[in-house]
């Protein structure tokens, strides 16, 4: 994986995760060290796996091309 050089003043911190029984949630909009990029526009990606059929996976995200956009796009 290629290294990402963060712009000056941008900080990274451990990404949040969650565990519920055997389900583990991982943040996916992170840098190459799996660190959350503080203050990024994020795009809010979501991945869902059907527990009854792990081959059934859905990915969606909101597209923020610019932090100041008032219009948000949803992609599935």
Cα–Cα dist 34/14, whole Å: 7
Q: Is residue 56 part of a domain?
A: yes
Whether the model clears a pTM of 0.75, i.e. scores above it, the answer is: no
According to the model, what pLDDT value does residue 1 have? Answer: 45
Mean pLDDT across 45-72: 74
Q: Is residue 50 part of a domain?
A: yes
Q: Is residue 69 part of a domain?
A: yes
Check if the beta carbon of residue 42 is closer than 8 Å to that of residue 29: yes
Domain count, the chain: 1
Q: Is residue 18 part of a domain?
A: yes
Q: Is residue 70 part of a domain?
A: yes
Strands (E), the chain: 12-14, 17-20, 23-26, 35-37, 46-49, 57-63, 73-75
The pLDDT of residue 47 is above 70: yes
Q: Is residue 7 part of a domain?
A: no
Q: Is residue 44 part of a domain?
A: yes
Give the structural domain span for 34. 12-75
Q: Is residue 2 part of a domain?
A: no
């Amino acid at each position: 994986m290629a290294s990402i050089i963060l712009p000056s003043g941008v900080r990274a911190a451990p990404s949040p995760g969650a565990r519920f029984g055997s389900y583990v949630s991982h943040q996916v909009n992170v840098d190459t060290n799996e660190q959350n990029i503080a203050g990024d526009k994020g795009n809010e990606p979501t991945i869902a796996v059907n527990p009854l059929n792990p081959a059934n996976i859905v990915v969606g995200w909101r597209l923020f091309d610019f932090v100041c956009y008032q219009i948000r796009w949803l992609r599935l």
